[in-house]
Structures are given as C-alpha cells and as structure tokens.
Structure 1
Amino acid sequence: MNQSFQNKNTQMRIRSIYSTLSDKERLMADFILEHPEKIIHGTINEIAEELNLADSTVFRFTKKLSYKGFQDLKISLATESVNAMKDVHEKVSKSDDEKTILEKVFCSNIKTLQDTLEVIDDIAFARAVDTILHANKIELFGFGGSNVIAMDGYHKFIRTGLTVSAQTDSHMQLISASQLTEGDVAVLISHTGHSKDILEILETVKEQQVATICITGFTQSPLSQGSDISLYTLSEETDFRSEALASRIAQLSILDALYVNVMASLDDKGQASLQHVRKAIQKKRL
C-alpha cells in the first residue's frame, strides 16, 4: 500500500477499498465499522469465532488494511476512539454564540469534503466522467432534499451543450425515466440509497439498459448495489444537523467535479456552449 493509504484512519482505509473486498472480507469490514469496541477489547480468536471465520482470515484482512497484525489494528482503533471523543467537544452546543456556530459549521463542511475525497474511488469517478461524455442523454434524479442536488446538477450540465434533463415532480421523474433508452445515463442521488422512489427509478431505467451512476452515502444500500457506478460521500450527524444534510455539500462537490471534468474534455465545444449561455443570460441584466 502507498503512504497515502497508510495515513488514513481505519474507517477511511476500509471505505476506500470496500468495493474490491470479497464476501468474507466485507463481513470483517462491516464488523470493524459497526463494532470497533469489540475489536479493541477482544482477541483475534474471539472475533474470528463470532464471525465464523478462520483466525488466518482475520489476520490477512488486517494486513490488507496495511496494519502489521491484529494488535496493530486494536491500537489504531483505540487511538481513533480517543480522538473521536475529543471531537465531541467541537460539536455545536446550545451555549455557543453565533460566531462559534458559524466556525463549527464551516469546519464540519470542510471535514465532510476532506473525508469524501478520501473515499472517492478514482477509477469509478473516471468511468462516471466517460459515461456522461458519451451518453446520448443525461438525466438526474433525486427526491426530497436530493432533488435540490439533482436540479443543481442540471443547472451545471445544461451549460455543457450536452442533452441533459431533470424533473422536480415525482411522477414526472418516473415518466421521464421510462423514456430513457440504451445509450442514455441516469444519475441517481440519494443519501441513504433506500428511498422507494429512487429505487423505482433505478428499476425502471435498468429494464431499458440505461447506464446508471449513483451518488450515495451507503455502500451496502440497494441503490449502490444496483447501480453501474457508485460515488460515495462521507459525513457525520450532529445534534442540530442530520447526516443527510451534512452530506449535501459533498454531493454538490461531486457534481461540480464531474461537470468540470466534462467541460475540460469537451474543450472548445464546451467553451462555445458556455459562451452561448453567458450571452443569453446577459440579456436579462440591466
């Protein structure tokens, strides 16, 4: 593993390679993410027995995470746990004044962006850019708060000169999805990846052989598992802001990065389209 990987905490290491793991490795990965305290206070034999895995499988997985062994993993998780307790003091409290809350919200957003950048799969992201560039039509889907993100994506990609669309009404989204065909791409946005509405869209477009790109926060969600390309966000919930709300800054940034990459690839064609947009908007200004 490279130095960049070794500089990540355990959660980041797992998330950054999760898509490449075998079923047994994912079992171990999920256990570490959900029960780090059991790793800290348990033995390799106890963990292996609880997961019905061989000791050697557990050991090999710790090596895959670039630790020297199980004990090294335990020490790392314990250190991260102490640091997490320190971070609690940086969360917003009722006694904070306006300036303090302002600073904490900005710091939280910065952390969300940094953490998301760490877990983005470079290969998956490059595939997403290429898929968008070669699509006959790009359509963005999202419901509730995710629809705001989808519409922002539409607001960006309409400037590329590519054929792009997005709808706000849930019925219109489903109708529009039914009209997509092979060669088109659907960009599906959902923090949890469990929304019934977004999964209906996924089912509809997959029946028509439409390429799918999802932006979500959960690797094991039905949306992530069913999409051709998955781009993940990583955010934390606080007392005054849900994890879903915190993730939106990362979702917006992923769409920004996709847009800029597409524009860079389009080169003169993209710039010509952007100039047309600017010229048209100029007429609306006094």
Structure 2
Amino acid sequence: MSGARQKTSGDDALRSPLLARIAAAQDGLRKSERTVAEFVLAQPSIVLNLSIAELAARTGVSQPTVARFAAALGFSGYREFKLRLAQSLASGLPFIHQDVGPDDALELVAPKVFDRAIGGLIDVRNHLDSAALARAVKLLAKARRIDFCGIGNSGIVALDGQHKFFRYGMPCIAYIDTHAMLMAATVVGRGDAVVAISATGRTTDMLAAAEIARESGAAVIAITASDSPLARLATVTLAADVAEDADIYSPMISRIAHLAIVDVLAVGTALALGPPLLKRLERGKRTLHDKRVHRVES
C-alpha cells in the first residue's frame, strides 16, 4: 500500500507536513525503512509513545533500521524525529482520506477531489521555504532567458509558466519534448534560468537536462519533491511534497500545487520588476479588450 493511501486511525487522524514528507520520500527508502514509514503513517500518535526498541519490535525490523529511517529524513536520530513528529501533529490539519476509490458513488467524487486538492495546497503552502522562494524570484527577475521544462503532467505546468512569464517581455519558452529539452540545456548559459518541474524528481530525462543546464552555467529552479535527485541537482528547490496514489489515477494534487507555485513565482517576479512592468501589462490588457464580447446593459 502506497503512502498516499495510508489511513490514520481514530483520534490520531491528523495530517501534517512531516507525514506528507514521509509519504513523498517512501520510494527512496530501503525496503525495511519503508516498513517503518508505513507504520508511522498509519499510526503516528502511537509512535510518539514508543521507544526505538519498541518501534523496531512492532515493525519487525532492527533498531539500526529505525535509526537509518530517521537519518534518511534528515534527523540526527530517533529522538529528534519523535520531537518533530509531535510538533508536526500538533500543528497538523484534520486528515480525511479523500482519494477516490473504485467503489465510490459518483456524488462522492467531486467533494473528495476538492478536499484532497485543498488539503494538498495548504500542506505545500505551510512548507514552502520563503528564503528559497526569494532566491528563485531574484534569479527569474534578472534572467536573460527562462526555460520551463516538464514531462507528461508536468508539461502542462511548464506551458502555464511560459504563458504567464512571456507577458512580462522576458524571453521564455516551455519544453515538453525530452529531445528538445536536452538540446536546449546545452545552449543556455550564465544568466539564464531553467525551471524544472517534476512531481517525483526522478525522471531520467529531466535529471539529465538539469545536470546539463547546470554544467552550461544556467541556474536551475526545481519545483519537485524535497527528497529527490532533482532537488539535489538544483540551484534552488521549491519543495512540493504531496502524497498521492499515482498507480491508480494520474497525479492531480501535485500538478495543482505546482501550478500554484508557478503563480507565486509569477507574482513575485512581477513585484520585483516594478512599475515598468505594470505599464507593459496594461498595454497587453488594452490589446485584448476588443477580443471580448462586452456585457450589454439592460
């Protein structure tokens, strides 16, 4: 069972940024560490009362495996992990498992999809690194050229990024074809920015493009999972740790979260560019004015 479909029980029904982070990191863990992760996701409040030996016994793994699990998440040890888990649960959101199931009646689909989207957006908002965001905006505002790169679902986000930023008068393009993406990565240089978008951060072509772009001298801004190869390759990472079951339905929540981050970058860059941009946007608005059917007053 994937992390996205884990359920907490009873009064433990809390969703927290740390639980979302654990779920997102599961694919990168060893098999025995994933066993620990699944237990934590299923019964987080019970874990708070377990020693490392007790958790090892409950999950059928060794104590060093539990320690490695905590270390894989970036903690100094099991004690720090439990402290952060307690803090995360205390500030968490009500967790309602809202993934659509194959036996759900149609009238349940809309509320479940909306509730998962809202919960995912709030998780990402609460976890967004303001320092990384400021750095990304600075790179974009000064960029000679911006390449938005995405494959599959992430390609939709890349196209949206191009649509928003070209209005600023900035040379930008979206690459959704992997061959073109790799070729483009070879011709960017210092002063250019590449926005690499990937839900998993593990797609081989995206990783190759990001690595080539860095070698070419460009800054790479990654919108991806925090504990991923792409995040480690990037100049700046804007983490979107969203748990969803991609094995059953195509990723939806991560795409919405990525679109929201692109919106934040667009607004932040517009503010950084200042008053001259407002005049440009106003000209664009006047250009489109006659393309709309105007409301007739009764």
Counterpart in the other structure of 1:92: 100
**Letter of the aligned partner of 1:234 in structure 2?**
D
* Distance across 1 between alignment mates of 2:162 and 2:201: 20
**Letter of the aligned partner of 1:58 in structure 2?**
Y
* Distance across 1 between alignment mates of 2:217 and 2:38: 35
Alignment of 1:101-140 (within 5 A): 101-140=109-148
Aligned pairs, number: 249
Question: Contact between 1:141 and 1:173, CA under 8 Å: does it hold in 2?
Answer: yes
Distance 1:110 1:52, change over 3 A: closer
Question: Contact between 1:92 and 1:240, CA under 8 Å: does it hold in 2?
Answer: no
* Distance across 2 between alignment mates of 1:152 and 1:95: 34
How far does residue 170 in structure 1 lie from its aligned partner after superposition?
A: 2.5
Distance 1:126 1:178, change over 3 A: same
* Distance across 1 between alignment mates of 2:153 and 2:80: 41
**Letter of the aligned partner of 1:173 in structure 2?**
M
How far does residue 31 in structure 1 lie from its aligned partner after superposition?
A: 8.5
Measured on the aligned residues, the alpha-carbon RMSD in Å equals 3.4
Question: Contact between 2:67 and 2:78, CA under 8 Å: does it hold in 1?
Answer: no
Q: Which runs of 5+ in 2 are unaligned?
A: 1-13, 22-32, 57-62, 69-75, 294-298
* 2:223 maps to 1:223: no
How far does residue 99 in structure 1 lie from its aligned partner after superposition?
A: 3.8
How far does residue 199 in structure 1 lie from its aligned partner after superposition?
A: 1.0
Q: Which runs of 5+ in 1 are unaligned?
A: 1-8, 17-28
Distance 1:141 1:44, change over 3 A: same
* 2:188 maps to 1:180: yes
Alignment of 1:177-256 (within 5 A): 177-217=185-225, 219-238=226-245, 241-242=249-250, 244-256=251-263
* Distance across 2 between alignment mates of 1:161 and 1:176: 20
Distance 1:33 1:134, change over 3 A: farther
* Distance across 2 between alignment mates of 1:191 and 1:117: 16
* Distance across 2 between alignment mates of 1:273 and 1:221: 38
Counterpart in the other structure of 2:164: 156
Where is the helix percentage greater, Structure 1 or Structure 2?
Answer: 1
* Distance across 2 between alignment mates of 1:148 and 1:66: 34
How far does residue 285 in structure 1 lie from its aligned partner after superposition?
A: 4.6
How far does residue 49 in structure 1 lie from its aligned partner after superposition?
A: 4.0
Counterpart in the other structure of 1:269: 276
Question: Contact between 1:15 and 1:119, CA under 8 Å: does it hold in 2?
Answer: no
**Letter of the aligned partner of 2:146 in structure 1?**
I
Normalised to the residue count of structure 1, the TM-score between the two structures is 0.74
* Distance across 1 between alignment mates of 2:183 and 2:224: 23
SS at match of 1:136: coil
Aligned-residue identity in percent: 29
Counterpart in the other structure of 1:5: none
* Distance across 1 between alignment mates of 2:182 and 2:193: 15
How far does residue 15 in structure 1 lie from its aligned partner after superposition?
A: 7.2
* Distance across 2 between alignment mates of 1:143 and 1:59: 39
